[in-house]
Amino acid sequence: MDALIIAAGFGSRLADLSPSKPLTPVAGVPLIEIGVRQAMLAGITRVVVVTGHHADMLETFLADLSLRAGIEIVPVRLTNWSTPNGHSVMAGATRCDGNYLLMMADHMFDADILARLMLEGRPDRGVTLAVDRRIDNPLVDPDDATWVKMDDDGRITAIGKTIAPYDAVDCGAFLATPELALAIRDAIAEGKSGSLSDGMQRLADAGRAATMDIEDAWWMDVDDPRAHALAEELAPWQLARTFAEIGVPAGGQ
């Protein structure tokens, strides 16, 4: 299965730490490399990365990473990278074969989350979203999180940053089918901006958006200096196997 990683945006809140958000290092390892290697641990065999801001810099790094990690990495450059993230999904999905694992470049995941998610395909689902029911998780920024409301069967009824009430937080990892890109396209045709959440809401309205509870597994959204400082401390422990393979021992020492 392919993974599609969204890495086109500016990342203004991390700009003081790194000119490229996907290349921002955590314990010396760029976020995009952590994502690629976690996807590989989960069983992904090919990675598509949507680039935009500082695309040349990122694509040069990805070419080297492909050789070092031994996996095909296909860059897809988004010319207008300031557009909402759904446009990145539409661009990258054209290079994916069938269902794909959709990830955000600034999120880190326990590989078990991704491996479990890859097994969640069902005929009655257009997308399955990994969710964290621990809405008081101290690693989640409540002002930036995307929240999820579900029905009794775990189907999404509402998704967005401003919805209330909500049952869980969006972890930024999806098992997507081709329906997701089509839903984003249809949302744009209806006058929406083209965010990923716009497409997710369309699938939710059709009863085609399911969830997978990550239970007690570890994940982080590294979106600002506070989160980055926490990631520096926690990631080498939580993702010890990946960091060890790269040459960073537990604790980053």
Please write the tens of the pLDDT for every residue from 207-251. 999 999 999 999 999 999 999 999 999 999 999 888 887 777 655
CA distance linking residue 22 with residue 118, whole number of Å: 23
CA distance linking residue 238 with residue 227, whole number of Å: 15
Mean pLDDT of 163-192: 97
| pTM confidence score | 0.94
In angstroms, the Cα distances linking 42 to 1, 3, 18 are 10, 10, 28
Short-list 53, 104, 51, CA closest to 73: 51
The per-residue pLDDT for 21 is 94
The per-residue pLDDT for 242 is 85
Kindly tell me if the per-residue pLDDT of 253 is higher than 70. Answer: no
Peptide bond just before 25 cis, omega within 30 deg: no
Kindly tell me if the per-residue pLDDT of 130 is higher than 70. Answer: yes
CA distance linking residue 146 with residue 151, whole number of Å: 17
Domains assigned to the chain: 2-127+172-194+218-252 (3.90.550.10)
Mean pLDDT of 48-77: 97
Position 19 confidence tier, pLDDT thresholds 50, 70, 90? confident
Neighbours of 205 (CB within 10 A): 13
Place of tokens 């604790």: 251
Helices (H), 148-224: 178-189, 196-205
Q: Which residues of 74-110 are buried (b: 16+ CB within 10 A; e: fewer)?
A: bbbebeebebbbbbbbbbbbebbeebbbbbbbbbbbb
The per-residue pLDDT for 249 is 61
The per-residue pLDDT for 73 is 98
The per-residue pLDDT for 40 is 96
Q: Mean pLDDT over all residues of the chain?
A: 94
The per-residue pLDDT for 231 is 94
Kindly tell me if the per-residue pLDDT of 49 is higher than 70. Answer: yes
Span 27-39, pLDDT tens digits: 999 999 999 999 9
More confident residue, 246 or 168: 168
Spell out the residues 6+ positions from residue 104 whose beta carbon is closer than 8 angstroms to its own. Answer: 5, 6, 85, 172, 173, 221
Kindly tell me if the per-residue pLDDT of 46 is higher than 90. Answer: yes
Position 104 confidence tier, pLDDT thresholds 50, 70, 90? very high
